Amino acid sequence: MTMERRRGPGRPRRAEQRDTHAAIMAAATGLFARRAYDSVSLREVAAAAGVDVATVHHHAGTKADLYQACFARVFAAESDALAGAVASAHEGLRSGPEEAFARLHALLDVFVDFLERVPETTALWLRRWSEPELHAELDDAYSLPLYRAVEEVLIAATDLGLLAEPSPRIAVRSLVWSVHAHVVSPSARGDERIEFRAFVHRWLDRMYRAG
């Protein structure tokens, strides 16, 4: 006979803990996306999440810890969204120019789709980049790995003669900034979303397709 392990008095269930943590992260991400780091207090995060400050500390630590966790959260989501498309693009490079470019276009679509679906990613990074002297370590942990993953695809495509791009690092950053600007544009909806998608496909073909 096995005994069911009982919770201690007042001890929250694991599901409740997960829900509380998720609420805190969502509230913090929204606040940090709208305002600068120094303008957000843990008390405001607690109020937005519907908990007290002690609960925020318990689940997230200090404000600096919470800020970093917000970037880790969107980085994990973006990594999950891009990983399959990056791998598919690498696989398609040796299937001939048409298949290679079809998969490069698919990678573009996945990136644009993600930022349109999760616009707080853009807002967080724009706030971070507006204060370049603060939290530079976030770039190394949560931005550069994604840049490098796509740069490696472009380098491989260039080595195979599919692309003509001597500076893949600049190419990736130019596209990233363009998509971020699109996401925060007040007119980035309706027909303009379709037009922007067509633009990035033309950009890839006209700027970088070899031959």
The string of pLDDT tens digits covering residues 93-125 is 999 999 999 999 999 999 999 999 999 999 999
pLDDT at 134: 87
pLDDT band at 188 (very low <50, low <70, confident <90, very high): low
Mean pLDDT of 111-140: 92
Domain check: are 48 and 100 in the same one? no
Domain check: are 27 and 124 in the same one? no
Which is more confidently placed, 185 or 136? 136
In a domain, 2, yes or no: no
pLDDT at 12: 54
Domain check: are 43 and 94 in the same one? no
Residue 7 has pLDDT above 60, yes or no: no
In a domain, 5, yes or no: no
- Write the CA distances from 200 to 112, 117, 142, 154, 197, integer angstroms: 9, 17, 24, 15, 5
pLDDT at 4: 44
Domain check: are 35 and 136 in the same one? no
Residue 58 has pLDDT above 80, yes or no: yes
Domain check: are 107 and 169 in the same one? yes
In a domain, 18, yes or no: yes
Domain check: are 29 and 80 in the same one? no
Q: What is the CATH number of the domain that holds 181?
A: 1.10.357
The pTM for the full model equals 0.84
Domain check: are 99 and 146 in the same one? yes
Domain check: are 174 and 99 in the same one? yes
In a domain, 3, yes or no: no
Domain that holds residue 24: 12-61
Mean pLDDT of the chain: 89
Residue 11 has pLDDT above 80, yes or no: no
Domain check: are 136 and 164 in the same one? yes
Domain check: are 53 and 72 in the same one? no
Domain check: are 114 and 189 in the same one? yes
